Amino acid sequence: MDVEKLLSGLYSDEGRQNPYPFYAALHELGPIRELPNRPEHSTVSAVAGGYDVLDQLLRDPEWYKQSPPGWEDEEILRTFNSSMMFINPPDHTRMRAVFAKTFTPRRLGELEPVIVRVTDAMLDRMAEAGAGGAELDFVADFAYPIPALVMAEFIGLPEADLPWYRQRVDWIDEFMDVAGKTPERLARANTAAAELRGYYRELIADRRRRPGEDLISGLVEALDGGGVDLTEEELISNLIVLFNASFVTTVYMFSNGLPLLLAHPEVVAALPGDDELTRGCVDEVLRMEAPVHFLARAAPRDTVLHGVPVAKDENVLMLIAAANRDPARFPGPDRFDPRRGGPPSLAFGVGLHFCLGSAVSRLEGRLALPRLFARFPKLQVTEKPVYSGSLFLRGIDTMSVTTGG
């Protein structure tokens, strides 16, 4: 099977539900393959799924993120391109330096009791709603509210606003899919970005009047005091992207990970009280079921990667989830092994754009999963999970379970 057929397979309904056979076939073709018959106007000239290729490109600051033509005319793209996640140095470096100061060991330590409190509250609700064998939606009752509530408290969003906020997150996420660039999805994403920008302007104005202990309050104080090299509009763009990236990936870490963990009951039974095993499970879930499946980087000059030519300003499509199952780096890549060791997964990236919120996600997994299985050792999935269908953010959006209570 050539690389064009493999990509077509990935874009099919079958590939969206289970892309891993296509990734395995890609590995048989090599770590990177040229796209000789790429679509007209496409800037993607090669597809890479090899771990070492992706690790190399992600660590090289000269390989850059390329903005689509006409991005200045779209609210959502203007928001993306004024945030650290989507821009290149030196602006990326300037913005990241501001936010890196907030993800400190002290801040993470302060989040631990928040995560425990939120998790225990969700488990209490699950116990009540699942009494007598009633079915629950694991995503709605556990995987979504925990990271949403934790990030809301960390950043400074009122809990009552989260249902409204989630709809706008969904509109943005559906636009980010490979097949999501339809006029209708673009319009919804533009609406979401505009409404979220207005929402954050109101929050910032409120924190100026009534500062608190949250991230927004601290950043507004530094902004007004000239202590950060950031404009208010850049602050808003980064808050939008930070919240989206930090909680959606954690939702999918929980939802994608549950069937994987329940398939290994001996591991689940040992999780409560074994922090080292829990850390390994979180890492292995992220390796095998990475929430983000692809990224792209453009070449700073004409170059050759593992024998494949890439012209200046052309993109390499980097399949993160394929690299995480590269048999050259992960023996038995489809085997769940929480004590695997070896290189780190690329689930949260590496290098310049390494996800700032990754430590929060891992902390939530380390604290919440043992409490979940200690409370509900007979937790079961009652129907086959259906994945979102996105090829960018791939995850389970609804999943029926019983608690065994």
Which CATH number is 229's domain given?
1.10.630.10
CB count in 10 Å sphere of residue 37: 8
In contact, 293 and 176? CB cutoff 8 Å: no
In contact, 173 and 393? CB cutoff 8 Å: yes
The CA distance from 156 to 61, in Å, is 32
Cβ neighbours of residue 289 under 8 Å, at least 6 residues apart?
A: 252, 253, 256, 257, 260, 321
Q: In this structure, are 234 and 379 located in the same domain?
A: yes
Q: In this structure, are 378 and 305 located in the same domain?
A: no
The CA distance from 283 to 288, in Å, is 9
Q: In this structure, are 67 and 142 located in the same domain?
A: yes
pTM for this prediction:
0.92
Q: In this structure, are 218 and 115 located in the same domain?
A: yes
Q: Which amino acid is at 24?
A: A
Q: In this structure, are 305 and 363 located in the same domain?
A: no
| CATH code of the domain in which 309 resides | 3.30.43.20
In contact, 285 and 268? CB cutoff 8 Å: no
The CA distance from 377 to 268, in Å, is 8
Residues of the chain falling short of pLDDT 50: none
Q: Name the residue range of residue 72's domain.
A: 61-292+347-402
DSSP 97-164: HHHHTTS-HHHHHHHHHHHHHHHHHHHHHHHHHTGGG--EEHIIIIITHHHHHHHHHHHT--GGGHHH
The CA distance from 35 to 314, in Å, is 11
**Number of domain units in the chain:** 2
Q: In this structure, are 269 and 146 located in the same domain?
A: yes
Cβ neighbours of residue 400 under 8 Å, at least 6 residues apart?
A: 135, 136, 137, 138, 381, 382, 383
Q: In this structure, are 309 and 338 located in the same domain?
A: yes
Cα distances from 42 to residues 36, 144, 291, in angstroms, run 12, 35, 25
In contact, 393 and 248? CB cutoff 8 Å: yes
According to DSSP, the β-strands at 44-48 and 315-319 are parallel
Q: In this structure, are 315 and 395 located in the same domain?
A: no
pLDDT at residue 70, as a whole number: 76
Domain boundary among 325, 346, 367: 346
In contact, 298 and 65? CB cutoff 8 Å: yes
Q: In this structure, are 124 and 161 located in the same domain?
A: yes
Q: Which amino acid is at 252?
A: Y
Enter the tokens of residue 122. 């969700």
Q: In this structure, are 312 and 356 located in the same domain?
A: no
The CA distance from 170 to 252, in Å, is 13
Q: In this structure, are 134 and 245 located in the same domain?
A: yes
Q: In this structure, are 220 and 298 located in the same domain?
A: no
